Amino acid sequence: MTFRPLHDRLLVRRIEAEDKTAGGIIIPDTAKEKPQEGEVIAAGAGLKAEDGTVTPLDVKAGDRILFGKWSGTEVKIDGEDLIIMKESDVFGIIG
C-alpha cells in the first residue's frame, strides 16, 4: 500500500530508545516511555493559504525529528505502527 500525507501532515516511524542506560542498566519494557524521536517516511506538499498559495514544509522524507510525547495519531499501515502528525507538532530536525 502507498500512503501520501496531505497538506502539512507527516508520516513518521518512531525510533526505539535504547534498552540500556549509559551506565549499563537494562530498562524493562514496562518502565520505558514512548520514544519522542522518529524518522519521516513521507511528507505532504505543504500548507495551503486562503489565496491558494502553498507554503512548502521544512521537513522532508528521511529527516530525523523530535516531537511531543502525545503528538499525532497512531496508525497501522502494512502491519507497521506509524504516526501521522502535523508539521507544527515537530520540535526540530536532528542532524
pLDDT tens digits along 42-94: 999 998 888 989 899 999 999 999 998 888 999 998 888 999 999 999 999 99
Written as nine digits, the cell of 24 is 549499563
Residue with cell 497538506: 7
Q: The whole model's pTM is what?
A: 0.76
Q: Which of 91, 93, 87, 89 lies closest to 8 in space, CA to CA? A: 87
Domain residue spans of the chain: 9-18+34-94
Domain 9-18+34-94 sits in CATH 2.30.33.40: yes
